[in-house]
Structure 1
Amino acid sequence: SSPQYLYQPYFHLLSLGKNITFVRPAYFIISGFIGIPNINYYYVFLFFVYVVSVLGNTAVMALIYLDYNLRTPKYVAVFNLAFVDLIGSSALVPKVIDIFLFNHPSIPYSDCLTFLFTCSTCLWMQSFNLVALSYDRLVAIIFPLHYQVKVTHRLMFSLIAFFWVLAITITLIATGFITRLSFCESVVINSYYCDHGQMYRLACNDNTPSFVMAKLGPVLTLWLPLAFILLSYSYIGYALSKIATVQERVKAFKTCTAHLSLVTIYFIPVLITFTMNANIHPNARIINLSLTSVFPPMLNPIIYVLQTQEIKMSLKKILKMRKQSKIAAKKVIIK
């Protein structure tokens, strides 16, 4: 039988006035990962990555919630990053597996927009969250004596709330522009999810607003955050160069290693894909983008557990308390 994505879609006409009519399809077809040998193994790999992401980010959130010593402004941002990673992975990976592994490539129009909104918002929030953590490290190293005054719970909550509003607003505008497009012919999205860039290119009416948003969005959500992070680390590097001993420099820099690792695994693959978009094979682009979407949520909690002393101490303390409670319970049973 013919593949499902070859079926002819049907369209709805949406009239918004005397001379305004939009042609909306009943569904879109997600057609990524075409012609790749043994691609089913990749979906199994994505499932493994998703399970690790869920367990890791849930564990980090639980540690921060249970340990009173971790309820600092810095860990407000870490908790939010784990939450964003958990939501983003849960919105993306199960749907990708359902689409490709279980051969359900069609997705209703409204569900596709919801898919686009959720995945994009979480992707941008990861970027903004790294800015919040960068600000925390900047103040901690350059103004250590004023850290408690400059980085408060109120400021961090306000910063995180502002970034949520900003990410949601940008994505709402981009999604709103998609609803003003007509899809008269093809509804096949050559990506692994409802990709904004691939969707607006399918339109048969004027897509200029979506085109502008596609160019402006990465500047607001990727380039500007990265510029702030690089600038902050330039100041940090300058401040560390003024420290007398090498040991003190290394000790101060170690507090940044976890954050720098997160910045590296998030920004480098994304920026490579965006800058080389026209020069790489579509399948390579899709696989690279999909890995960029799922790898940081998996690696972020691992990096924080391995490289952050407070998290390691909290984990050891909780495991020790659990062991002691088991020993106490056995003693009660024996008595």
Structure 2
Amino acid sequence: MRNKYVLVSENINVIEEEFTLAEPNSMICKPLFIYLGFLEKKLFSNTYFPKKPVIPGSSGVAKVIEDPSGRRGDLSGKLVIVKPFSRHGLIGLERNGLLTHFASIPPENIWGFINQPKPFHAIIPYVSHAINLVELGEDPSIVLGCNIIGIAVALVLKKTGREEPVIVCENPPRSVKRLGLEIYESISATSKSYSTVYVADGDFPFIHDSLHELNYRNVIISSYVMLKYLPLKREFEAKIISTFDDKSSNYSLVSSISTTLMKALSYVEINDISESILLLPPRDLGVIVNVKRVREDSSSGFSNKHI
């Protein structure tokens, strides 16, 4: 099975190979919808330096083609939602992701199964994660960051009848205006006392300045922002929770928020994975890519080498 993928190192390259490289204990999947967003932006920033060249694409929808190990053959043909995080690390950053004609994905990165794939399914793991963050917090609250997690947190609070949060980010995506949320570009323009601070941004100077100006009792951190240090006030006592948790039993809420977020996302159909390099780094809140024409042939062509 010939494969083609986008590889990010110092440059963006399109690689074509005779074989689909299957990593140990992983499935071969055909990505159908791929979300490129704030994690992919990290690859092109000065705040994250991957240890090796990596295929981006942190979440999405894929069809399981084959399990080379043979231990999970019943998954072949299943349509799965792929989440970014598992015990193997973050796909698209720490291990290869979905921006490829055929991806090697651990089964632990399956968020769930679906019957009819739609573009909004590609962002469901992030929305489900945001719901879990909200369940940990108390009102009134402030959200620091305007990536998909921060915006999803605000939408969940609004949708569930909780007190609408204050949202602050230094460079809000223009597309977020379509969601009807009020966003402040400076912490100085907001109230200073909150029960909960939701941290959805990994920009250390911004988080440092914000937390030192605010009064709060709880700090809920999305582990996806990958903050190495949390700059809290020394004189303050606060409950700190950091989590990757992305499972929610409220699927109707997950679907509703995901559908709403689509208003602020771009959607692009491509016929070949090489066309996706024009979408990197992703702009605004991100883009969902639909790879249309990839022939499936699961009868041969696997290699168990590492990429």
TM-score, L = length of structure 2: 0.25
The structure in which a higher percent of residues are strand is: 2
Choose 1 or 2 for highest CA Rg.
Answer: 1
The structure in which a higher percent of residues are helix is: 1
TM-score, L = length of structure 1: 0.23
